[in-house]
Amino acid sequence: MICPMENGDHAELLALTAQQLEEPQVVRLQEHLGACSRCREFVARQQAVWQALDAWEAPAITSDFDRRLFRRIEQRPSWRDRYWAFQHWVPIAAAACLIVVAGWVSSRPARVAPLPQTQAAQLQSLQPEQVEHVLDDMQMLSDFTKAARSDAGEL
C-alpha cells in the first residue's frame, strides 16, 4: 500500500486512532505499520493525544437545566428577541415608506411657478397715471385700426 505519511493522507491514520475504520482497512494499515516506522511513530503519538483527551471529563449538568429552559420557552420573547424581530422588519417598512412617498410626490399637480421678484416689484410700483396712459395708448391704437379698415373699404 502507499504510505499515508508519504502520500500526505494523515486522515487515514487519524481515523485508525479514532477507531473509525472498517476491519479490512485496519488490517491493511496494521500490516503497513509493522513495516513503516514513520507511520508507527505518528500513530503512537496520536494515540497518546487521544488518551490524554479521554481523561478530560465534562462536569455534571445542573439538575434544573430543563426547568430553566422550559421556563424561558414559556416566557414571552425577550426584548432582545423582539429587537431582532423588529430589525428584521425595518428594511421592509423603510422600503414601503419610500414607495408611498415616491407615489405621493409623483401624483402631486405641478405648481405654477411664482413670478420673479423683479416683476412683482414692478406690478406693485405701477401708479394710476401710468395705467391711464396705457389705456389711452390702447384706445389710440384701436382708433387707428378702425380708420385703417375704413380707408381700405373705400379703396
Partner 1 sequence: MERVEKSMGSVAVALDYDAQLMVRVKEGDGVSFGLLLEKHRSSVIHFLYRMVQNRAVAEELAQEVFLRVYRSRANYEPTARFTTWLFRIATHLALNSLRDGKYERAEARLDAETPESTARQVSDASPSVEQLMVRQARLDEVRQAVAALPEKQRAAVLMHKYEEMEYSQIAKALDCSESAVKSLLFRAYETLRARLAHMA
Residue tagged 483527551 (cell numbers): 53
Residue tagged 500500500 (cell numbers): 1
Task: Determine the interface stretch with partner 1 among 10-18, 89-97, 106-114, 124-132 (rule: CB under 8 A).
Answer: 10-18
Task: Determine the interface stretch with partner 1 among 61-69, 92-100, 134-142, 147-155 (rule: CB under 8 A).
Answer: 61-69
Q: Give the residue among 13, 71, 76 at the shortest CA–CA distance from 46.
A: 13
CA dihedral 15, 17, 21, 27 (to 10 degrees): 130
Please report whether residue 2 would count as binding partner 1 according to CB under 8 A.
Answer: no
Binders of partner 1 in range 63-102 (CB under 8 A): 65-66, 68-69, 72-73, 77, 81
Please report whether residue 3 would count as binding partner 1 according to CB under 8 A.
Answer: no
Q: Say how far apart CA 26 and CA 32 lie, in whole Å.
A: 10
HEC states along 102-144?
HHHHHHCCCCCCCCCHHHHHHHHCCCHHHHHHHHHHHHHHHHH
**Smaller CB separation from partner 1, 23 or 129:** 23
Among 1, 10, 101, 140, binds partner 1 (CB under 8 A): 10
Please report whether residue 56 would count as binding partner 1 according to CB under 8 A.
Answer: yes
Cell of 25: 482497512
Among 1, 3, 11, 120, binds partner 1 (CB under 8 A): 11
Among 3, 27, 49, 147, binds partner 1 (CB under 8 A): 49
CA atoms within 13 A on the CB side of 28: 11
Which residues of this protein are in contact with partner 1, per CB under 8 A?
9-12, 14-15, 18-22, 25, 44-53, 55-62, 65-66, 68-69, 72-73, 77, 81
